[in-house]
A = this chain, B = another copy of it.
Amino acid sequence: MTTRRDAVHDTLRKSEGFRSAQDVYAEMRLHGAKIGLTTVYRALQALADGGKVDVLRTDDGESVYRACATDAHHHHLVCRRCGHTVEVAGPAVERWAEMVGSEHGFTEITHTVEVFGTCSSCSMPARIG
């Protein structure tokens, strides 16, 4: 019953960076998978709900997903050029968020933290040929 969902998960695992639902769908079809776009959306959502994949929003509002190495809470350092992503832990940030929240009387504190940059290979001088 989770055949399709697993296939989606696998496709994600083989990817380096974050991929959109449309993207995953297109790739799966390319490789001959028989699956519908709706199912890809549903699988991705289920995986995200279950904490099996991470989600974030691109600047233009698209949801993108990634199968991360760890289930533990972590953040991402994403190359805005090629999408190459590094998973990073940030104990300092976790503490900071908690503190800032409680200082102002907020409870049930959550946070979103993403770091973007240009990775080393993308910032190398362009080489032709």
Q: How big is the A interface, by class? A: 20 to 34
**A86 touching B104 by the CB < 8 A rule?**
yes
**A115 touching B109 by the CB < 8 A rule?**
yes
Write the nearest CB–CB distance from A117 to chain B, whole angstroms. Answer: 3
Contact flag A101-B113 (CB < 8 Å), given A57-B57, A61-B61, A106-B79: no
Cβ-closest chain B residue relative to A121: B105
**B114 touching A112 by the CB < 8 A rule?**
yes
A2 touches B (CB below 8 Å): no
Per DSSP, chain A at the interface is: strand
Instruction: Please report the C-alpha to C-alpha distance between residue A30 and residue B34 in the assembled complex, in whole angstroms.
Output: 50
A100 touches B (CB below 8 Å): yes
A28 touches B (CB below 8 Å): no
Can you list 8 pairs linking A and B with CB atoms under 8 Å apart? A86-B104, A93-B96, A106-B115, A109-B117, A110-B117, A111-B113, A111-B115, A112-B116
